[in-house]
Amino acid sequence: MATKRKIPERKCVVTGEMRPKKELIRIVRNKEGEVFVDPTGKKNGRGAYLTGSLEVIDKAEKTNVLSRVLNTEIDPVIYEELRKLVGTNE
């Protein structure tokens, strides 16, 4: 009998929903304070997860939730990158 592997779940910082990690986009702040989108989900640093939808990304930008979670200023370029990433998936 094959054992069912547990699917790692993470919480979206905007919606508060727990979802499978693969459905979420990870944004990372490393020790140097650089913030970037991490499509692989494997880079070192403090991570925050967002649901991959344009509404969620817009809301994250409006409410400044990433700045609070990652404890740093978020460059608008990050939001553009997220929108591009989501645009290709939708």
Position 53 in a domain: yes
**Whole-model pTM?**
0.87
Per-residue model confidence as pLDDT tens digits over 45-80: 999 999 999 999 999 999 999 999 999 999 999 999
- The rounded distance, in Å, linking the Cα atoms of 9 and 76 is 27
DSSP structure class, residue 12: B
CATH number (domain holding residue 28): 3.30.1230.10
Q: How far is CA 90 from CA 48, 71, 82, in A?
A: 21, 30, 12
- With CA atoms as reference, report the closest residue to 83 among 52, 62, 40, 59: 52
Number of domains composing the chain: 1
Residues 42, 26 contacting (CB under 8 angstroms): no
DSSP structure class, residue 41: S
Domain enclosing residue 74, as ranges: 9-89
Per-residue model confidence as pLDDT tens digits over 10-41: 999 999 999 999 999 999 999 999 999 998 88
Please report the pLDDT score of residue 87 as a whole number. Answer: 83
Taking 80 as the threshold, does the pLDDT of residue 7 lie above it? yes
Position 3 in a domain: no
Position 2 in a domain: no
Position 4 in a domain: no
- The rounded distance, in Å, linking the Cα atoms of 24 and 38 is 10
Position 58 in a domain: yes
Position 56 in a domain: yes
